[in-house]
Amino acid sequence: MATKKKPIKKFPSAATLKKVRDKLSDPDYTGGNIALPEDASEVERAKYKLCQLIAKYHREHELTQRQLAKKLDIDEARISEILRGKISSFTVDRLIGYAQKVFPHVKIEILAA
């Protein structure tokens, strides 16, 4: 029985990279990830880290947003918000619940600084 080989992923062309850089450099561009402000609260930082954890799972398992939405039992718009780090739309407990669906043994640790 022959095994199927995954196609080799090629790096984007210089023209494609320039187009993406130009788009992202546009001061009026509203897409992409939302940055966590430097003065973020600990709750905001926890939510952001949980979003990053879910985004990591998304990347590493090469899932579409639709596939991830189905796995987490939420709609695709909510997945988009998670992947962009739009933390204001979620509570910590909700994000922990989503993270536990993809990482069943996830552990949350709270430290006194």
pLDDT at residue 54, rounded to an integer:
95
**Looking at the domain assignment, is residue 64 inside a domain?**
yes
What CA–CA distance (Å, rounded) separates 34 from 16? 23
pLDDT > 70 in the chain, percent: 83
Instruction: Give how far Cα 110 sits from Cα of 21, 42, 107, 113, Å.
Output: 38, 10, 10, 10
For the record, the structure tokens of 15 come out as: 């023209």
Task: Give the range of the structural domain holding residue 94, as residue numbers without chain letter.
Answer: 41-113
CATH, residue 71: 1.10.260.40
pLDDT band at 11 (very low <50, low <70, confident <90, very high): confident
DSSP 43-106: HHHHHHHHHHHHHHHHHHTT--HHHHHHHHTS-HHHHHHHHTT-GGG--HHHHHHHHHHHSTT-
Q: Total structural domains in the chain?
A: 1
The pTM (predicted TM-score) of the whole model is 0.69
